[in-house]
Structure 1
Amino acid sequence: MPHPAADLDAVDRSLLRTLQRDARTTVGTLAEQVALSPSPCWRRVRQLEQSGVIAGYHAQLDRHRVGYGVLGFVHLGLHNHTDETTAAFEREVQVLPQVLSCHNLSGRYDYQLEVVAQDLERFSEFVRSVVRNLPGVREISTSFSLKEVKRTTALPLD
């Protein structure tokens, strides 16, 4: 995979830092912050979007305020690691809206899911009825977030 970071200059990094803080920042404000006129600033942002450096723009929701009181982590071990099993597992995980992230891991477990639920009962039901039935699942271990100390999607650009 290419490393586009080498192609990012100081202006690009400044634009990206600002957009990570507030993606609704206007082109005019961005241009002022990076000492460009609006047209070249807009072209830079478009280039960052087209190259895939900027993958999208999203609203960050407060999970508690939309009814998700539980954040849990589900560690999974698979029966086997064939291409077919892992592809089927990953395909099914992709469509589960309760799963915020899925990581293929090194170490004891094969995957870690970050899962939200309204409450412990619904989390438990999700794990028992959905996660347990995902392709290849052999072993499940769960843990819960007692307190979220930090959450960010902003990448360090220094």
Structure 2
Amino acid sequence: MAGSQRRIAKELAEITKDTPEGVTANLVDESDVYRWSILMEGPEDSPYAGGQFKLLLTLPVDYPFKPPALKFETKIYHPNVTNDDKGAMCLGILKSEEWKPSSKISAVLRTARSLLAEPNPDDAVETSIAEQFKNDRKEFERVAKEWVTRYASKRA
């Protein structure tokens, strides 16, 4: 377990020094390296632009041999994020069969933010939103922007 904590502390230091664009990461509690509070800005040129999303990154005690979990605490209208209070994100890099111990948290955060810019409707957890994304992009973008204003506005 001590090795896990060392690796996590090292990655937190790296992220603090070289923060992925549009992302801020802090420990939820200084005494617990396994829970990170993430603030993610919606990418420009996406329906999420201008939004600020809170996420929770939870690392397993056997990290890096098992992937972390990433969930949106801010509601978001997105085909790859569950539309419930769990806010679970379907992200390929976090799937057990795709996770590699050499993967880093910074890569997870970059991938998550890029999924905001480019949703993947073929790997959706919200199929109705994915269908809308594929078949009526204008309406998808309108609703996504409305949710940003309602739930993720920096003024909220």
TM-score, shorter chain, exceeding 0.5: no
The higher radius of gyration belongs to 1
**Higher RCO structure, 1 or 2 (CA under 8 Å, sep 6+):** 1
TM-score interval for Structure 1 and Structure 2 normalised by the shorter chain: under 0.3
TM-score using structure 2 length: 0.27
TM-score by length of 1: 0.26
